[in-house]
Structure 1
Amino acid sequence: MTVHKSLSNIVVLISGSGSNLQSIIDNADNIGVNIQSVISNKADAFGLQRAKNAGISTKVIEHTHFASREDFDHALIRYINTLNPELIILAGFMRILSTDFIDAFSANTNKILNIHPALLPKYKGLNTHQRAIDAGDSEAGASVHFVTNELDSGTVILQKSVAIDPSDNADTLAKKVLKQEHILYPEALKKVLQK
């Protein structure tokens, strides 16, 4: 007799092309997840089409329609609460979430994951690839971490690194790191859900 573990419900927040979303979609069975909804703050985000192509529900909540960051985050909270997901996955979601949002989903157990294109704790924030090159680092990479109220500072779940070649610039390094992100995010999700 085969015992089947039920799928874990997740929602994915995006702002752009959704290439990390696609890697999660492609590996959903292996990870053991059901993507309940893909939510974007931008109506023209290509990741919404990726979700629709996979038969996944989408929702657009445009931040520009709200008077404040907190009002936008409260609209997100209300929608996500209707779904009650096990995890909230940030995959190229280019908004800094308010304390209200983070606290709403991290009171007892942290439910929010993010992927960051650097080997945390190095290079929090933006322009990570150029900063690694400028520092003369021999490697760069990506980190999946739990989201806390401090930017890119939550507990790291998994990391993958790539060598920085002398010929690399920020664009070539970004492409190498992104390939690793597509492997890393599904692995990190699976690790979190197996605990």
Structure 2
Amino acid sequence: MSAAPARVAVLISGRGSNMQSLVARQGDAYRIVLVASDKPEAAGLAWARDQGLTTFALSPRGIGKPAYEAAIDAALRDAGAEWIALAGYMRLLSDEFVAQWRGRIVNIHPSLLPRYKGLDTHARAIAAGDASAGCSVHLVTEELDGGEVLGQAEVPILPDDTADTLAARVLAEEHRLYPAVLAEVVRR
């Protein structure tokens, strides 16, 4: 008898294209039980609601990080989430939050970690003269983009690439890589 699919909550801040790829590829390994955002106006929330997914939105403005994270944690637990997938979630999680979910938070990052942690990864790779760029799925730890790398996809940097053209090719790889790695890691 096979195990039930892992229950995954996805945290987003914007349009949610990686969340959409996770939803499209859910199945025997995992099911999306919640889409949550720090931006109530995030386009990805509307898409998720249109798919019949449970959503939660709360802005941290005016309530502070501890209260915000407590509310997110309560929503995750109410949904029965076992895993958290960050998909364009543009907030740093506190060490306390990460500790509560240790080993069960994954993130997609638009660089070949450990290179180019943080923001502006595509412009930085081009400026450095790198031959390739890509994306990484990693476990989230207290160190920014510093957890165990679970999978990567690489794309060449073309001579006429801009940060935007490179980002578009990397994003296509993110959409392919993230669901596959998530399905693998929740089965560990």
SS of aligned partner of 1:75: helix
2:92 aligned with 1:96: yes
| In structure 2, distance between residues paired with 1:114 and 1:157 | 10
User: Do structure 1's residue 71 and structure 2's residue 77 form an aligned pair?
Assistant: no
> What is the number of residues matched between the two proteins?
188
Runs of 5+ in structure 2 lacking a partner? none
Aligned-residue offset at 1:81:
2.3
Matched, 1:129 2:86: no
Where does the alignment leave 5 or more consecutive residues of structure 1 unmatched?
none
How far is 1:8 from its partner?
1.1
Q: Using the alignment, how far apart are the partners of 1:28 and 1:41 within structure 2?
A: 23
**Could you report, residue by residue, the CA deviation over 1:45-84 in whole angstroms, capped at 9, with x for unpaired residues?**
1111221121100011111141x22222122122222233
1:194 aligned counterpart, secondary structure: coil
Match of 1:18 in 2: 16
Matching residue of 1:41: 38
Equivalent residue, structure 1, for 2:167: 174
| 1:34 shift after superposition | 1.6
**Structure 2 CA distance, aligned partners of 1:84 and 1:150?**
26
Q: TM-score, normalised by structure 1?
A: 0.92
Give the percent of matched residue pairs that are identical in Structure 1 and Structure 2.
Answer: 44
4+ long deviations beyond 6 Å: none
Distance 1:96 1:43 in 2: 17
Whether contact under 8 Å (1:146, 1:157) holds in the other structure is yes
